[in-house]
Amino acid sequence: MKNSIPQSQFKNPVINWIDTRLPIFSVANEAVGTEHPTPKNLNYWWNFGSLAGVTLVIMIITGIALAMNYTAHVDHAFDSVERIMRDVNGGWLIRYIHMNGASFFFIVVYIHMARSLYYGSYKAPRELLWILGVVIYLLMMATAFLGYTLPWGQMSFWGATVITNFFSVIPFVGEPIVNWLLGGYTVDNPTLNRFYALHYLLPFVIAGVILLHIVALHRFGSNNPLGIDIKNDKDMIPFHPYYTIKDFFGLSVFLAIFCVFVFFVPNILGHPDNYVPADSMSTPAHIVPEWYLSPFYAILRAVPDKLLGVLAMFGAIGILFILPWLDRSPVRSAHYRPMYRIFYIVFIINMLALGYLGVQNAEGIYIILGRTCTAWYFIHFLIIMPLLNIIETPKALPKSISDPIFSSGAGGMSPATSRSKK
């Protein structure tokens, strides 16, 4: 008996022929096409997830191009980067895209995380979606740090020295771990080779975790600004063409801003010391990480004890994993949580302050401010968020996305309905 060939939904004969044998177009359509139902009230803050994906693709493509011309050796790494900038056709453009792309990747992800915090996208049943996002964030930090060392400038060398020495505070096994990471007793050629290999590998690991992130997203669908579950088909619209248009508009704005940085101020987000060849005999006056790691560097420096400082820094990231269980409020969106909204704004200001303090000299008033902001960071998650679950009285929620609340009671009527009953 002849096996029947399943029929594809596509009219194009070529696409139809491929899809009946390899249903990649059907899968894509279900993921981001007309077959993917989406809450109809998503705003532009939901653009940043797709922007993060596009930025990762840009980083991988430019990274592969740079790897073809880079020499992972302490005697040649700095010169190979200069050769890329001066002699390789379009090398300066590729490097500037890659270098600024790292900063923009973090900007997009930080906004994406801030949106999730505001609208409660980490709450049940999306806990694992949030956890996978934090894993992606950790991998990004590791990848960015490894890439920062590759130009082998002064800040690259001393940044690698400082960061790897963090592991020396681990009791009993700290020193062997540091020696294993470095491939010796100091930051040298084995260190650079290991960092280069890991920096090349980790973006593909990030891509794999992103696929899991997307699968988890499609399990329960996107959250929405109201923070309420979808009730019926009237609450949904197809992802394509409505949100693809939004995403393309957001991407256009993003690329325009990105090009301004690449072509006009390519070095504004970097450090001038990295244009000086690495010298183990000359320590920079002020060793700082890249700006997107500075909040956690400020937390590290805020604690006088080295071991406790390292624990505080890693704890500041680790606390994000348990966030869904710290905030037990049944209401997701801060739109209906007036007290949470106030503390959320304070938290964002506090994070910006930590980012600023992380690139300043640890002296005078900066020490006091750093400790204050660090304390508030942990207070926000460990005390304020659980406390709000008890003392906060949220506003009434609408019945559905299609019937937003306008009156004081739960499930209030729309103005049009109110007028018709008068």
Domains annotated for the chain, with CATH where assigned, are 36-283 (1.20.810.10), 288-393 (1.10.287)
Q: Which residue has the tokens 């704005």?
A: 253
3-state secondary structure of 37: strand
3-state secondary structure of 34: coil
Which alpha helices (H) appear in 68-90, and where do they start and end? 77-86
* pLDDT tens for each residue of the chain, 422 residues long: 455 666 667 778 888 888 888 888 888 888 877 778 899 999 999 999 999 999 999 999 999 999 999 999 999 999 999 999 999 999 999 999 999 999 999 999 999 999 999 999 999 999 999 999 999 999 999 999 999 999 999 999 999 998 898 888 888 888 999 999 899 999 999 999 999 999 999 999 999 999 999 999 999 999 999 999 988 888 999 999 999 999 999 999 999 999 999 999 999 999 899 999 999 899 888 888 899 999 999 999 999 998 999 999 999 999 999 999 999 999 999 999 999 999 999 999 999 999 999 999 889 999 999 999 999 999 999 999 999 999 999 999 988 888 764 444 444 443 333 333 44
Q: What's the Cα-to-Cα distance from 87 to each of 55, 91, 94, 419, rounded to whole Å?
A: 26, 7, 12, 72
Q: Give the pair of three-digit tokens for residue 53.
A: 């994906």
Q: What are phi and psi of 311, to 5 degrees?
A: -65, -40
Distance CA 135, CA 124 (A): 18
Helices (H) and strands (E) in the chain, counts: 17, 2
Say whether the peptide bond before residue 225 is cis (omega within 30 degrees of 0). Answer: no
Sign of the alpha-carbon dihedral angle for 73, 76, 78, 84:
negative
Instruction: Name the residues annotated as catalytic.
Output: 218, 222, 246-247, 290
Whether 385 and 327 have beta carbons less than 8 Å apart is answered as: yes
Whether 153 and 278 have beta carbons less than 8 Å apart is answered as: yes
Whether 33 and 238 have beta carbons less than 8 Å apart is answered as: yes
Partner residues linked to 37 by β-bridges: 238
The pTM of the whole model exceeds 0.85: yes
